[in-house]
């Protein structure tokens, strides 16, 4: 069972993750993973498995936040379904492979990769780079290759893929709101394949806490979902009313703080 004193922290984690999933089309992993790492360490989970559990639980939450965010963006006609269709085969392959690979990487190496990826996302959001006007989306093969890369990295980092999908689509001159909406849709196949991969790779692993399904910690998942599913549509509605440049920069600052705190909880004295 979850200690009563950490339940508010799980609820807040879910609310923030769901809101930003809807607002920016990024999977909640950038918020959920560092916070779960801190909370799992406080709960005394095995140090070697804290990050694996945080990654598996995080990507499982995306199953539900992606559905909620997807419905809201579809209502605004912001999902490019043909693009999502062509990205999905590569997404599924990459996400499943990434989740299986994560189980064989040490917590230290995995945390360095995750924090490095968070810093990449933060710089990308702050820079707000603009594409060349002549650039367009590639064909089905090109989108399939892009989907494999996005799925693999997103699964390793337990994210919905928006941190790569949104910039990639904008780089191909897709309108920002459509890029965010399509990214929210892409988060669903990433979450399906990634969750199955983390369950499979953690199945029967010794030392996992009670309530774990592979590397998915079900008690935390349930509490986080209560807040995240409600918050995702709020973020999606706001995404279609306000410019997101300032909010992206605020979010980038949040990533920097959380990545530092995550490293401290893992390696600080």
pLDDT tens digits along 176-200: 778 888 888 888 888 888 899 889 9
Residues with Cβ within 8 Å of 112's Cβ and at least 6 positions away in sequence, in order, are none
Return the structure tokens found at 78. 């912001």
- Condensed to tens digits (0 to 9), the pLDDT of residues 83-141 reads 999 999 999 998 888 888 877 787 677 777 777 777 777 777 677 666 566 678 888 89
Burial (Cβ within 10 Å: 0-12, 13-18, ≥19) of residue 65: buried
- Return the closest-CA partner of residue 77 out of 173, 163, 2, 182: 182
Residue from 134, 139, 125 nearest 23 by CA = 125
Instruction: Inform me whether the pLDDT recorded for 45 exceeds 60.
Output: yes
Q: Would you tell me how many other CB atoms lie within 10 Å of the CB of residue 203?
A: 13
Per-chain mean pLDDT for the chain: 80
List the chain domain ranges. Answer: 4-264
Tokens of 184: 């929210």
Helix 7-24 to helix 245-267 angle (10° resolution) is: 140
Non-local CB neighbours of 222 within 8 Å, separated by 6+ positions: none
Q: What is the rounded CA–CA span in Å between residue 147 and residue 96? A: 12
The DSSP output letter for 4 is: G
Q: Decide which of 217 and 72 is more confident.
A: 217
DSSP per residue, 204-263: T-TTPPTTEETTEEHHHHHHHHHHHHHHHHHHHHHHTTS--HHHHHHHHHHHHHHHHHHH
Query: Nearest CA to 90 among 148, 165, 139?
Result: 148
pLDDT given for residue 130 in this prediction: 64
Torsion angle in degrees (nearest 10) through CA of 15, 16, 17, 19: 80
Percent of the chain residues past pLDDT 70, beyond the cut: 82
Tell me the β-bridge partners of 216. Answer: 213
What does residue 231 show for φ and ψ, rounded to 5 degrees?
-85, -30
| Model pTM score | 0.73
Question: Which is more confident, 145 or 72?
Answer: 145
Please determine, for residue 39, whether its predicted confidence score (pLDDT) is greater than 70: yes
């Amino acid at each position: 069972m979850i200690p009563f004193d950490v339940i508010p922290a799980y609820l807040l984690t879910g609310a923030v993750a769901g809101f930003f999933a809807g607002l920016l089309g990024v999977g909640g992993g950038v918020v959920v993973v560092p916070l779960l790492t801190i909370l799992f360490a406080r709960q005394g989970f095995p140090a070697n498995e804290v990050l694996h559990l945080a990654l598996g639980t995080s990507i499982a939450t995306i199953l539900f936040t992606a559905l909620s965010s997807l419905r809201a963006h579809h209502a605004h006609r912001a999902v490019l379904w043909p693009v999502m269709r062509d990205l999905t085969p590569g997404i599924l392959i990459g996400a499943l492979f990434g989740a299986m690979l994560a189980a064989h990487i040490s917590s230290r190496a995995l945390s360095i990769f995750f924090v490095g990826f968070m810093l990449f996302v933060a710089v990308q959001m702050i820079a707000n780079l603009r594409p060349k006007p002549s650039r367009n989306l590639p064909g089905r093969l090109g989108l399939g290759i892009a989907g494999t890369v996005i799925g693999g990295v997103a699964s390793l980092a337990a994210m919905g893929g928006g941190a790569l999908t949104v910039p990639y689509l904008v780089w191909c001159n897709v309108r920002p709101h459509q890029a965010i909406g399509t990214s929210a849709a892409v988060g669903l196949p990433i979450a399906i394949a990634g969750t199955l991969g983390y369950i499979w790779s953690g199945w029967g692993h010794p030392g996992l806490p009670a309530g774990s399904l592979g590397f998915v910690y079900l008690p935390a998942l349930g509490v986080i979902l209560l807040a995240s599913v409600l918050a995702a549509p709020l973020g999606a509605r706001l995404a279609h009313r306000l410019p997101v440049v300032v909010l992206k920069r605020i979010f980038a600052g949040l990533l920097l703080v959380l990545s530092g705190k995550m490293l401290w909880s893992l390696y600080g004295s």
